[in-house]
Amino acid sequence: MPELPEVETISRQLNESISGCTVSQIEVLRQRSFLGDEKKIIDWKVESVSRKSKVIGIRFSNQTEMVIVHLKMTGQLIFVDGMKRIVGGHPTPDWVNELPSKHTRVIWTFKEGSKLYFNDMRVFGWMKIVSKEKYEKEIRKQSPDIIDQGFTDKYLFDILKKTKKAIKLVLLDQEKMGGLGNIYVNDALFLAGIRPDRKADSLSWEETRQLHKAVVRVILDGIKYGGASASNYVHVSGLGGTYQDHFQVYKKDGQKCPKCGEIIKKIKLGGRGTFFCPNCQM
């Protein structure tokens, strides 16, 4: 599942690629993947593309409505302009194969000649036309993303003090803070030296400050490396992010801890693979 850094990366790349482009055609190949009257956006000119939590917002010049996109489990956005290709979201062979594929749900064509494909294997993702005003109001009510200004060490401390749940599960709760998924949460807890199964309210102020620094760092690192896209063919094609080359403990069970050399352990927490160093994390 694409996490915040992957969504941020494709959002930034699309902002550079389709801003200023005018929609000339929209083909909806699977009705439920596009909510709203797609014909409406024909002739609309893209103003900008940005992200809040894991939702991508496409805004248009002089329009009161916009399109929002959620990739969910297996959604992909692939922008094709001649030989140039920009890919984002769930990595599959469709990143490099001929398009449309059998997983293509929506195709945007721009007057400039480029195309944007929305592929989604398991079809939980969607594109939706919404009122810009309502959406912006909604965003303001949401909890802060890890990299928003509102996400301070004090904010984190107040949340942790209120619960005895395992710290890892609290960090994954998108209603409390947006952006940490299973990859980045494992690495952040390692960097902060905190065991994933510690009770949240047992963290001291100093530990919370270290943890706050660590979660911000892993998300910024994720964005710096263009997200994580661990797949063999992705490396061959040179497409996709490379954060997977910088994993600290995620999926490294049985290997040596990069800090102390102890063997990294794997446990299950909330049904998800959880990786930590029994020596460095307390």
Catalytic residues: 2-3, 54, 272
> Which residue number, 67 or 277, has a Cβ lying nearer to Zn ion?
277
Q: Which of 273, 269, 227, 272 is nearest to 247 (CA)?
A: 227
Q: How far apart are CA 134 and CA 252, in angstroms?
A: 43
Stretch that binds Zn ion, among 161-169, 174-182, 185-193, 260-268 (CB under 5 A): 260-268
Q: Which of 119, 116, 126, 131 is nearest to 24 (CA)?
A: 116
Q: How far apart are CA 151 and CA 26, in angstroms?
A: 38
Contacting residue, 158, 199, 262, 273, with Zn ion by CB under 5 A:
262
**Residue 33 and residue 126 in contact, taking contact as beta carbons nearer than 8 Å:** yes
CB of 196 to Zn ion, least distance (A): 14
Q: How far apart are CA 94 and CA 85, in angstroms?
A: 12
* Whether the bond into 5 is cis, omega within 30 of 0: no
How many whole angstroms from its chain centre is CA 93?
Answer: 19
> Which residue number, 139 or 263, has a Cβ lying nearer to Zn ion?
263
Question: Strand, helix or coil at 26?
Answer: strand
> Which residue number, 110 or 275, has a Cβ lying nearer to Zn ion?
275
Contacting residue, 55, 146, 223, 280, with Zn ion by CB under 5 A:
280
Q: Is the dihedral of CA 42, 52, 139, 136 positive or negative?
A: negative
- Give yes or no for residue 69 binding Zn ion (CB under 5 A): no
- Give yes or no for residue 279 binding Zn ion (CB under 5 A): yes
CB atoms within 10 A of CB 262: 13
- Give yes or no for residue 259 binding Zn ion (CB under 5 A): yes
Count the site residues for Zn ion by CB under 5 A. Answer: 7
- Give yes or no for residue 277 binding Zn ion (CB under 5 A): yes
Contacting residue, 260, 263, 267, 273, with Zn ion by CB under 5 A:
260
Stretch that binds Zn ion, among 41-49, 146-154, 231-239, 262-270 (CB under 5 A): 262-270
> Which residue number, 100 or 258, has a Cβ lying nearer to Zn ion?
258
Q: How far apart are CA 113 and CA 54, in angstroms?
A: 28
Stretch that binds Zn ion, among 84-92, 182-190, 210-218, 269-277 (CB under 5 A): 269-277
CB of 255 to Zn ion, least distance (A): 11
Q: How far apart are CA 202 and CA 73, in angstroms?
A: 33
CB of 193 to Zn ion, least distance (A): 9
> Which residue number, 48 or 279, has a Cβ lying nearer to Zn ion?
279
**Residue 248 and residue 258 in contact, taking contact as beta carbons nearer than 8 Å:** yes
Task: Report DSSP state, residue 262.
Answer: P
- Give yes or no for residue 257 binding Zn ion (CB under 5 A): yes
**Residue 181 and residue 5 in contact, taking contact as beta carbons nearer than 8 Å:** no
> Which residue number, 11 or 248, has a Cβ lying nearer to Zn ion?
248
CB of 265 to Zn ion, least distance (A): 10
CB of 124 to Zn ion, least distance (A): 37
CB of 190 to Zn ion, least distance (A): 8
Sheet containing 115-120: order of strands: 23-28, 104-110, 115-120, 75-81, 84-89
Binding site for Zn ion (CB under 5 A): 257, 259-260, 262, 277, 279-280
